[in-house]
Amino acid sequence: MIWAVLIATGTVVATGIYLALSRDLFRCLIGLALLGNGINLVLFSSGRLNTQVPPIIKQAETTLHNAANALPQALVLTAIVISFALLCFSLVLAVRIIQLSGNDDILAIRQAEPPATDSIKPALEEEP
Amino acid sequence: MTSRAHIAEVFMRGLYPVLIIASFWMLLRGHNAPGGGFIAGLMAVAASSAYALIFNSSKASKKMPLLPARLSVSGVLVALASGLPAVFQGLPYLSHPWWTLSLGGFKLSLSTVMLFDLGVYLAVWGAIGGICLHLIETIEENL
Amino acid sequence: MGRLSNNCKEARAPLANVFISCVPSLLFLGLILSLYHVPLPWTFVLPWVPSLNVDLDVYIDGLSAQFLLLITGIGSLVFFYARGYLAGHPKAKRLFILLVLFLFAMIGAVVSDNLLVLFVFWELTSVLSFLLVGFNHEDVGSRKSAQQAILVTGVGGLFLLAGFILLGEIAGTYSIQAFLHSPSVLINDSRLGVVLVLIFVGAFTKSAQFPFHFWLPNAMAAPTPVSAYLHSATMVKLGIYLLARLDTAFSDIIFWEYALVGTGTLTAVFAAVQTVYERDLKRILAWSTIATLGTLVMLVGLPGHGAALATVALFFAHALYKAPLFFVAGNLDHGAGTREIDKLTGMRHYMPWTATAALVAALSMAGLPLTFGFVAKDAISFAKAQAEVLHLVSYATVFVNVVSVAVAAIAAIHIFWGHDTIPRKSHPHEAPASMIIPPLMLVLCGIVFGLAPTLIDPLLGAAAKAMSPEFDATTVNMAYDLAPVIEVTLGTIALGLLVYLRWDWLHERLSRITFLEKVGPEGWYLAIMDTLPVIAARLTRIVQHGILPRYLMTMLVTVAVLLLVLLTAADPPWLWPPSTNLGVPVASASLLIIVGGLAACFVRDHLVLLLVGGLVGFGSAVLFMFTGAPDLALTQFFVETVFVVVVATVLVKLRRLKIRDRQVPLEPLIRPLDLFVAMAFSLIVVVLTLLVSALPFDAQLTDFYATRSLAEAHGRNVVNLILVDFRALDTLGEISVLFFSLIAVLPLLKRIGDKRP
């Protein structure tokens, strides 16, 4: 059964990377979201998937028996929230970049690496 | 204003308090059942976002108990403060002591852990809700 | 008011300088008194970095004591001289502070018994030398010279550090004394050659040995007191100090002897030839200093007690005659406004005291009897006789001596005697007393010790003993017998005077031979310095290409390769994880995720892409639901909902803006290279997860939470308890991060609202 989850994980990670490598700013953003999602799945499934019982102690008992692993769940829960905050921040950045450059082509964003102005530094590679 | 939008507004006006109360319930039950500060906070964010979609985001921010940034910082402060009673009892910071109050036959167990969870709830609602609402507001007004 | 306070400041500054300039004198007096009362060696330990076995072990024996005397003694006079030399200079205070720092760095270097501590002080002297050479930093020449000095000595320092670490690791100790007492571990180690070469590079760069000599003449851009102090008397001798310090351990090794004797002799001869190229008195003195340094290196390399004694004698003699000559050069600069020997003749009429100092110093430099220079030369010839050196080395020494006689004659006769026939704008004048007393005192010492060399027998004996432990220091008797060496001395002096008389002719002949400048070591240095920025710029452009996807690609490929390397290196058990049946819901959730993921690759429209991406999120929520993680399912569900709603709102608005012509796609939908990298990377991640899942599960932490939750945290939802109780501090950090992300977003949004660029 693990293989189904693993294929899903692999697909999400691959899609996330593929989109993040895109020239389209928005596709990058979605790629980031999917990559985070995929890594969460990796983290979650490395805590072993072998039960459907949630890690909640039953009323009659004092300890947890035969339930899912709580530790990766706690990790992933915070990871989901944090990566959501990160995504929101990236989204605002993306909007700002689009507003500034009027373009959502990543190769058109050159503020951080402006063209060479002196003779020693070779010119930037021409945009493809 | 179309009647359809009007219906949505009336519907939302009724739904919003229900959602917030539900999120609060989610917060309280988190100690023993699925739920807790993060989930409840995100639920409240969802409620605020829905409100912002039907009305607008500034109205949604006003519907929050405090302005988003203040809500968020008060959440962090509440969580910070929740660790202090333990220090006064000589325990490590953020270990949560429990007290049992007897109110005439009805026993109520209280702990700073609830305060901490409340802090998480407020911080998540304020921060994530603030980002979303402010973003929608800025986009709507300027683009 | 402002002027008044300004005046006060000016009045205060020299007072501070006076105070600072007393520091070396006090140290010198304290040292002399201690030497009389407390027998050497002195040792004490100050713990510094116990975890690295680095302590401030102080060990002072005769060699260190001799250096300390020179550092503080010459230092006293240099500080005194500098007060006159820089009187009224606006940056005088800075020079004094740097000089004091240098003084302490130098003291630290010669008293430290720990190799690493020695290295730290060694590098400190390099840095201070850089600051002092570049003292006139408005002058581009000064800056270049300072840069050259620090690059050459700094790179040498790195070699030295490598050598020290290797030596320390092999010998098992960083204590010099401990190592010197049992050097056999290193002597018998196959890496001995490497250690020696590394230490040689460090010592030779510091002491300006060929081919690293070229920085020293250029360092003459420094103010004269600095040249006299750092680049003649103390810092450049640090390399020789190190070699002398290690000599007892290595003196039996043929390579040690040959390398030192060879390099020293080559340096001495090369520098002697180069002397003739120069017309600037200070640079002439610099080359002659290099020649002396070469001779010292050669003497360290020579076996035998005589060589040890000759080394320390020459140390002493050189300090006593070269420093005054530098002072004389400074006085000429000060009084006549030039150091060019073509523009200086008959100066004794204007500067009688300086002329006296120059003459006596020159006599000592030429090695005339009754001076301490003669004592040193006597010791050198005795050492060579004892060590049975090659004839070539003997001839080289004679040659170097001849040139130094000529240099002495230039400094004393050419400049000060004869008639001043050169037309000048203003009359040269004598330097103030503060600039005359230091050279006179030094030359006086030279004469006193020359007349009665037995006065410093104990000191030289103790210093020589440090280099040659079996040496019986009590037998030292520097008293000399004139008869056997008088012929050689006279011959050398006659030849030297001949060179002096033909100096201009030689200079003209030699100046035609310019190839040395082009192909010599300085040429290599300049070529490297010219090429480095170009290579750096090229490299920067290759690495910093400004193309975001390519940066990401670089990172991904690097991480992937690292993971692969680690994976193959670790070679984990390649097992398939145990099969568990999770049922149809998990399978369908996985299918949902796979469909969403695949579709996201091939969707162009942004809104559709968002929805497809949302599909993955909701699929994950369902997956969490049916694998026992309802908390995760809820979190993921709410996050996905809010994300889709907010981003959709933004997208709809952005679409209205028509930021880009949607008819022209940015890129093809299928980019094979990117696809390959993405798939390869995800394959590695999946394999890793598989391998992890196949390993036996360590339930320690899981059990900890399972058993303690109700008992200690009084709750039943373990996930929530981990978040708010067991790991509450982490969660506190996390909500603070959330708050700060809001704080980071707000100003950005404000800028978007203001439409500011």
3-state secondary structure of B97: coil
| C515 has a pLDDT exceeding 80 | no
Which residues from C are below 8 Å from B36, CB to CB?
Answer: 631, 717, 719-720, 723-724
- Specify the higher pLDDT residue, C114 or C39: C114
Q: What is the 3-state secondary structure (H, E, C) of C645-709?
A: HHHHHHHHHHHHHCCCCCCCCCCCCCCHHHHHHHHHHHHHHHHHHHHHHHCCCCCHHHHHHHHHH
Give the per-residue pLDDT at A97: 85
| C719 has a pLDDT exceeding 70 | yes
CA-nearest residue to A14 within chain C is C678
- Specify the higher pLDDT residue, C126 or C429: C126
3-state secondary structure of C423: coil
Counting one residue from chain A and one from chain B, the pairs whose CB atoms sit within 8 A come to 26
Task: Report the mean per-residue pLDDT for chain C.
Answer: 86
Which residues from A are below 8 Å from B135, CB to CB?
Answer: 88, 91-92, 95
Q: Is A36 on the interface with C (CB under 8 A)?
A: no
Q: Tokens in use for C317?
A: 């003699």
CA distance C751 to C757: 8
- B partners (3+ CB pairs within 8 A) are A, C
The dihedral sign for the CA sequence C195, C197, C202, C204: positive
Give the per-residue pLDDT at C207: 92
CA distance B23 to B39: 8
- pLDDT tier at C387, thresholds 50, 70, 90: confident
Give the per-residue pLDDT at C658: 61
CA distance C29 to C6: 36
3-state helix, strand, coil in chain C (%, to 5): 75, 5, 20
CB C375 within 8 A of CB C449: yes
CB A5 within 8 A of CB A49: yes
Give the per-residue pLDDT at C9: 45
3-state helix, strand, coil in chain B (%, to 5): 70, 10, 20
Please answer yes or no on whether B127 and C752 come within 8 Å at the CB atom: no
Q: Is A41 on the interface with C (CB under 8 A)?
A: yes
C416 closest CA partner among C326, C336, C493: C336
**Which member of B42, B73, B83 has the closest CB to residue C739?**
B73
CB-based contacts of C391, cutoff 8 Å, min separation 6: none
Which residues from A are below 8 Å from C540, CB to CB?
Answer: 121
Helical ranges in C62-114 per DSSP H: 62-85, 92-111
- pLDDT tier at C610, thresholds 50, 70, 90: very high
Q: Position of tokens 């003449």? A: C217
**Which member of C650, C654, C738 has the closest CB to residue B124?**
C738
- pLDDT tier at B21, thresholds 50, 70, 90: very high
CA distance C732 to B82: 10
Please answer yes or no on whether B124 and A81 come within 8 Å at the CB atom: yes
CA distance C65 to C23: 18
Span B64-79, pLDDT tens digits: 999 999 999 999 999 9
Give the per-residue pLDDT at C8: 44
Which helix (H) or strand (E) is B106 found in, with range?
Answer: strand B106-111
* Burial readout B23-42 (b: 16 or more C-beta within 10 A, e: otherwise): beebbbebbbbbbbbbbbbb
C704 C-beta neighbours (distance < 10 Å), count: 12
CB C358 within 8 A of CB C410: no
Scanning A47-106 for CB atoms below 8 A from C yields: 48-59, 62-65, 67-71, 73-74, 76-78, 80-82, 84-89, 91-93, 95-96, 98-100, 102-106
| C30 has a pLDDT exceeding 80 | yes
Q: What is the 3-state secondary structure (H, E, C) of C382-396?
A: HHHHHHCCCHHHHHH
3-state secondary structure of C138: coil
Give the per-residue pLDDT at C484: 63
What are residue B99's phi and psi, to 5 degrees?
-125, 150
Bridge partners for A105 per DSSP = A24
CB-based contacts of C627, cutoff 8 Å, min separation 6: A5, A44, A49, A51, A52, A68, C582, C586
- Specify the higher pLDDT residue, C31 or C518: C31
- pLDDT tier at C6, thresholds 50, 70, 90: very low
CA distance B133 to C52: 55
- pLDDT tier at C374, thresholds 50, 70, 90: confident
- pLDDT tier at C10, thresholds 50, 70, 90: very low
Q: How many H-runs (helices) and E-runs (strands) does chain A carry?
A: 3, 0
Residues in chain B: 143
Span C266-319, pLDDT tens digits: 999 999 988 888 888 899 999 999 999 999 999 998 887 888 888 988 988 999
| C203 has a pLDDT exceeding 90 | yes
Helical ranges in A21-69 per DSSP H: 25-46
Scanning C639-698 for CB atoms below 8 A from A yields: 639, 642-643, 646-647, 650-651, 654, 657, 659-660, 666-667, 671, 674-675, 677-679, 681-683, 685-686, 688-690, 692-693, 697
A17-21, C34-38, C407-411: which range is least confident on average? C34-38
CA distance C357 to C327: 9
Which residues from B are below 8 Å from A56, CB to CB?
Answer: 32-34
Give the per-residue pLDDT at A119: 55
Please answer yes or no on whether B131 and A89 come within 8 Å at the CB atom: yes
What ranges do the domains of chain A cover? Answer: 2-49+69-111
Highest mean pLDDT among C318-322, C392-396, C412-416, C466-470: C318-322
CB-based contacts of B108, cutoff 8 Å, min separation 6: B100, B101, B102
Give the per-residue pLDDT at C250: 87
CA distance C311 to C300: 6
CA-nearest residue to B142 within chain C is C753
CA distance C206 to C242: 10
Please answer yes or no on whether C745 and B116 come within 8 Å at the CB atom: no
CA-nearest residue to B131 within chain A is A88
Please answer yes or no on whether B113 and C638 come within 8 Å at the CB atom: no
CB-based contacts of B135, cutoff 8 Å, min separation 6: A88, A91, A92, A95, C646, C650, C745, C749
CA distance C71 to C678: 65
Give the per-residue pLDDT at C7: 43
Residue C384 CB burial class (10 angstroms; 0-12, 13-18, ≥19): buried
| C662 has a pLDDT exceeding 70 | no
C381 closest CA partner among C453, C274, C481: C481
| pLDDT digit string (tens) for chain A, length 128 residues | 678 899 999 999 999 999 999 988 889 999 999 999 999 999 998 888 888 888 888 888 888 888 888 999 999 999 999 999 999 999 999 888 888 877 788 887 776 666 655 555 555 554 44
Span C71-97, pLDDT tens digits: 999 999 999 898 888 888 888 888 888
Three-point CA angle C316, C318, C320, nearest 5°: 70
CA distance C602 to C590: 19
Percent of chain C with pLDDT over 70: 93
The secondary structure of residue C46, as a DSSP letter, is E
Bridge partners for B109 per DSSP = B100
At residue C744, what is the residue type? A
- pLDDT tier at C35, thresholds 50, 70, 90: confident
| C537 has a pLDDT exceeding 50 | yes
Residue C587 CB burial class (10 angstroms; 0-12, 13-18, ≥19): middle
State the smallest CA–CA distance between residue B4 and chain A in angstroms: 31
CB-based contacts of C164, cutoff 8 Å, min separation 6: C115, C116, C118, C119, C174, C199
A89 C-beta neighbours (distance < 10 Å), count: 17
Scanning C282-311 for CB atoms below 8 A from A yields: none
The architecture that CATH gives domain A2-49+69-111 is: Orthogonal Bundle (1.10)
CA distance C345 to C419: 6
CB-based contacts of C695, cutoff 8 Å, min separation 6: C572, C573, C575
The secondary structure of residue A118, as a DSSP letter, is S
Q: How many H-runs (helices) and E-runs (strands) does chain B carry?
A: 6, 2
Assign residue A68 a region: left if phi > 0, alpha if psi is -120 to 50, beta otherwise? beta
- Specify the higher pLDDT residue, C756 or A27: A27
Test the B interface: residue of C655, C737, C739 with most B CBs within 10 Å: C739
Span C413-424, pLDDT tens digits: 888 887 777 777
State the smallest CA–CA distance between residue B14 and chain A in angstroms: 28
At residue A67, what is the residue type? A
Give the per-residue pLDDT at B43: 94
Average pLDDT over residues C561-571: 91
